[in-house]
Amino acid sequence: MAYAAFRSIGAYAPLDILTNEDLSKMVDTTDEWITKRTGIKERHIAAKDETTSDMGVKAAKKAIERSGIALEDIDMVVCATISPDYFCMPSTATIISNKLGLRNVTAFDISAACTGFVYVLSIAKAFIESGMKKNILIIGAEKLSAITDYSDRGTCILFGDGAGAAIISATDNKDEAIIDVHTGADGEYADLLMTPNGGSGSAHDSLDQEASSCFMQMKGNETFKVAVRTLTKDVVEILKENNIESEAIKHFVPHQANYRIIKAVGDALKLKDEQVVLTVAKYGNTSGASIPMAINDIYEDGLLKSGELMLLDAFGGGLTWGSALVPFSPLK
């Protein structure tokens, strides 16, 4: 039987930075207010002509280079994004594949919002364990600034841009294998976090309605409550099902949405501060890119070593959620 191994990580953050102080000049807010409620201090913003696929390519190139796997041996590309280059078609994954010089590979996008990277991880694991693919490039990439209303202080303080990527490869060594991935969804809560954007489910009577629907809309308080409850339940379950104690987790890598959510889940698991990976202060919420960007930070800081166990945990619009137990297994 083939197993799926998490071989490498890469990420990219745009050069331009939007600070809390910058936002205080745009909407009625302050650095103190944003920091206290979210833990965010700044977020990276893509250039006007910089697309989601551009950022995905830069992250992917790092992941490929670090993997030790030849470009031509990659046989599938999956991209998680809610801010694709084109909302209908073609998929951002096909554009990334073309920019990388990959031809004749399976390539498609998935939409699971902030849980996107965990979802594409589960897809890669399934394709590899079935024997259908051997080396899969998974990407979480977002240009959320393109769908953020910068007159809405409830959302504009939260979101940033960036991309993260990983190579998932087949191995016959069970010790290297991704242990488990949980994913779930409940459409009953779809209206808590959404971008109406004029799809077939939200026809518009005016241009003003059409324009406003292109931006993210969120019911903050309700989303916070459901997020804490759902994330805590999911990570407790995945640890219990795999007979793993929280002490065995070297790196807890949650979706970087809000420091208070991360703190609540970490406390529920009785994790130590050194186990919890935090990047929300400098990137904000980058949706599907947030988990791989956080993994990349600890990798580049020399804190992620071969064989160390990561617990990934995410929650997003849909509502969707997911968790994963992932050893870091670079090629020797």
Report the pLDDT value the prediction gives residue 198, as an integer from 0 to 100. 56
Catalytic residue, candidates 20, 135, 258, 285:
285
Q: Rounded CA gap, 311 and 306, in Å?
A: 15
- 214 a catalytic residue: no
Q: Which of 44, 255, 258, 296 is catalytic?
A: 255
Q: Which two tokens stand for residue 321?
A: 């959620």
Selection from 262, 271, 276 nearest residue 228 by Cα: 262
Give me the catalytic one of 20, 114, 251, 258: 114
Q: Is 156 considered catalytic here?
A: no
pLDDT at 75: 96
Mean pLDDT across 238-255: 95
pLDDT of 254 strictly over 70: yes
Query: What is the pLDDT of the chain when averaged over all its residues?
Result: 91
pLDDT bracket for residue 207 (50, 70, 90) = very low
Q: What is the mean pLDDT of residues 229-242?
A: 88
Q: Is the pLDDT of residue 68 over 50?
A: yes
Choose among 34, 19, 72, 50: nearest CA to 259.
Answer: 34
pLDDT tens digit sequence for 260-295: 889 988 988 889 999 999 999 999 999 999 999 999
Of 92, 109, 90, 80, give the one whose Cα is nearest residue 289: 80
Regarding predicted confidence, which is higher, 1 or 287? 287
Phi and psi (nearest 5°) for 130?
Answer: -80, -15
- Rounded distance between C-alpha atoms, residue 235 and residue 238, angstroms: 5
Percent of the chain with pLDDT over 90: 75
Across-strand partners of 177? 5
Residue 167: which pLDDT band, with cuts at 50, 70 and 90? Answer: very high
272/312 Cα distance (integer angstroms): 16
Is 221 designated active site? no
Q: Per mean pLDDT, which range of 21-35, 138-152, 155-169, 207-221 is the poorest?
A: 207-221
**247: pLDDT strictly greater than 60:** yes
pLDDT digits (tens, 9 = 90+) for 82-135: 999 998 789 999 999 999 999 999 999 999 989 999 999 999 999 999 999 999
DSSP codes joined into one string, 26-47: TSS--HHHHHHHH---EEEE--
Structure confidence by residue, pLDDT tens digits, 4-56: 999 999 999 999 999 999 999 999 999 999 999 899 999 999 999 999 999 99
58 vs 204: which has the higher pLDDT: 58
pLDDT of residue 264: 87
> Per-residue pLDDT for 194 more than 50?
yes
* Residue 178 predicted with pLDDT over 90: yes
